[in-house]
Structure 1
Amino acid sequence: MALPSFSGPLVLLGAGKMGGALLEGWLAEGLDPGRVAVVDPAPPPEAAALIGARGIALNPDLSALPAPAVILLAVKPQVAAAALPAVAGCAAPGTLVVSIMAGKTLANLEAAFPAGTAIVRSIPNTPAAVGRGITVAVPNGRLTPAQRELAHALLAATGACEWIDDEALMDAATAVSGSGPAYVFLLVESLARAGAAAGLPADLAARLARATVIGSGELLRLSDLPADQLRRNVTSPGGTTAAALAVLMAEAGFDPLLEQAVAAATARGRELAG
């Protein structure tokens, strides 16, 4: 979606994998590079090349800039205490703060910025790097409708964006979509190992597993059918797929195991958030 108009610069704190992917998405949506300031003492080579090629300001004197319209926080949470004060000092009453830092609650962020700041806490996932991400976002109640629209467009530059109103749901959302790519990659690993155990050459089993998951994901993306119907479409009564699903869908099968995994990730997220 095209970015809505806004006045003032956009300050990006952190140009790592996620920050760099967002920056690339914004530029692809037509954002003027001259309106972006990146704060990162050592951006990775890919981001540094993009910043240099598009003439984006890198580590400027923030006090010399106009009040930013947006400050997007894309640093790792363990460096937040050291990194946030520099950008918090340039926040103005109309500045929108968007965070993609894991584990940093709205209360954490509100404590770091001036009282009354409009803040969005969000969690993207790694497919954002190829424009197929999904981000879950929660506002702190200070956003204007225009700021919410802007936050949505900025986060949707790398894929889809979903909103929740209850921050308590963020840990569960993180366990599903933030950690979810790791579960899918493990599925590819496990399927490849199972194929090798059934007698396939290991390299062929790995290629088959990888291509199957990639193709199934694309079919899911392009189809209007729900996942359960797509599953039924593959499954002939009494056939090979049905035999496999009888194992995966048994009482101690895939569903309860994944439920336990998501519950464990959710609980750990709550612990990390304090």
Structure 2
Amino acid sequence: MTRDSRFLKFSAILGFIFLYAPIISLIVYSFNKSKLVTVWGGWSIKWYVELFNNQQIIDAAMVSLKVAFITATLSVILGVLAGYVLSRMGRFPGKMVVSGWITAPLIMPEVITGLSLLLLFVSMEKLLGWPSGRGITTVIIAHTTFCMAYVAVIVQSRLAQLDDSLEEAAMDLGAKPHSLFFLVTLPIISPAIISGWLLAFTLSLDDLVIASFVSGPGNSTLPMVIFSKIRFGVSPEVNALATIMILIVAIGVIAAMWQMRKKENVL
């Protein structure tokens, strides 16, 4: 083994330890019997039992999952359309402006985004009577606003790498524009769409700042509930909850990677 390969191996191991040691520590301490999260008291699953008996956390988790699922789906629909237009429409008047509008949420501080959306919803309620108050609807709209930007960038970059000869061959064989999009383009970029959906789902599920601005009483998301709890000290229930979320995300990522690899092998 050469010196360079040993250095690269050591760097990779060090990087993985840096990334995953805190997560492993959290998972281990979720089985801690002690009430003190920093003191080991033996193995136990009591905090998982306490977690599933905590109705506040269960309700918040259901709200977050519902919001994240709807947000990811809407973000994929709007993001795919935006990415396709920017990639396939060529030059048109105002393209730079449209591109800037789409990518602006990527660089905008979340505090500014949340405050501006709150003011927008208040103004719309006064003028139109909708949305009535702040709740799940306003959170979904707010999350879709910035999540679709990530999907659009992913889809646009994938379309930029797409071999145009495939679409040209389909058109030469008589494919109509809508058939070309649904039967040729979409299947090819499906790995990017799946990646965009997962990213949007994760961003929505993880968001705290924007949701704090646009949500109302009785519609708190899971990050909001967790943040309110840790302000008075970390509860072992939070470790159990985080472990379950890590497991769900890991299963989703593995399934997505398997699906994308399957698509690539077919193509």
TM-score (norm 1): 0.26
Higher relative CO (CA 8 A, sep ≥ 6), structure 1 or 2? Answer: 2
Structure number with bigger Rg? 2
Query: What is the TM-score normalised by the length of structure 2?
Result: 0.26
Larger proportion of helix:
2
More strand by share: 1
